[in-house]
Amino acid sequence: MIDEFNRYYIKIRTILKIDAKTICGELTTALGADADIQLLQNGRNIGRKSSNATWISENEPPRTIVRRNGSEPKTLFCLFFKSNGPVFIHKVDEGKTIDHNYYIENCLKPVVNEIRKQEKSSRTKCIRLLHDNGRPHIHRDVIDYLTEEGIEIILHPPYSPDLAPCDFWLNDYIKINLADQENEESLARPFFWNFVNNIPEKEFKKTFDKLLERMKLCINNNGDYFEHLIK
């Protein structure tokens, strides 16, 4: 019971941004100097954010906390997938801004060609595309290109990550399952392609089933927040 109380107390005080030394002193005063709080007596608080607070033993080195430099270039990927797996993966050129022209030439056209190759047909009718309301996606040239190709655009409500498969599934799936890499460049190697291509087909199918379920809940709930209704 005491251990449970200690954990709860530490959690609350850490959320309140109380430093580790102060917390240790408070518990020592409350429980006595001979109390079994060796871990606390040798605790050190790493970083300023409460989410970075951690307790370590006497001989344990501080845990490494990686923080991205705000001006550091990011490795960006565009991933298009269907209910049975990935269709096309594009690594965005370093330092490149994705405008509507880049999106058409480097993403949409290769996707259309890949679909034709997979379907063994020049037809792209009955293909529906879901992407969010980013500026390149809603540009008139993008809409015109997709219309010319016979691809139907699925309308996406603004500010609705709960209806975007990349937000409610893929990003978290990659974070959880992608092994640590030495640096961002390692993600640009075939490793990332192999990882995505090896995601089980059932995961993609399950995600599209969840999307349909979420759409129905959104409609039935008159567009209000619905994630608390998901079983």
Tokens read off for 202: 């059932």
Residues 102 and 46 in one domain: no
Among 40-44, 62-66, 112-116, 191-195, the range with the most confident prediction by mean pLDDT is: 112-116
Domain count, the chain: 2
Q: Is residue 120 part of a domain?
A: yes
Kindly report the CATH number assigned to the domain that includes residue 91. 3.30.420.10
- 3-class state of residue 219 by DSSP: helix
Task: Convert the pLDDT of each residue in 161-212 to its tens digit.
Answer: 888 888 888 888 887 776 655 555 665 656 677 888 889 999 999 999 999 9
How big is the chain by its Cα radius of gyration, in Å?
A: 24
Residue 43 has pLDDT above 60, yes or no: no
Q: Is residue 214 part of a domain?
A: yes
Exposed / middle / buried, residue 82 (Cβ in 10 Å: 0-12, 13-18, 19+): middle
- The closest alpha carbon to 163, from 220, 201, 98, 213, belongs to 213
Q: What value does the mean pLDDT take over residues 70-96?
A: 83
Q: What is the pLDDT of residue 3?
A: 59
Residue 155 has pLDDT above 80, yes or no: yes
Helix (H) or strand (E) holding 116: helix 109-119
Residues 123 and 14 in one domain: no
Residues 135 and 186 in one domain: yes
Task: Convert the pLDDT of each residue in 208-231 to its tens digit.
Answer: 999 999 888 888 888 887 777 776
Task: Convert the pLDDT of each residue in 114-131 to its tens digit.
Answer: 988 887 765 666 789 999
* Residue 37 neighbours by CB distance under 10 Å: 20
Residue type, 42: N
Q: Which domain holds residue 25?
A: 2-52
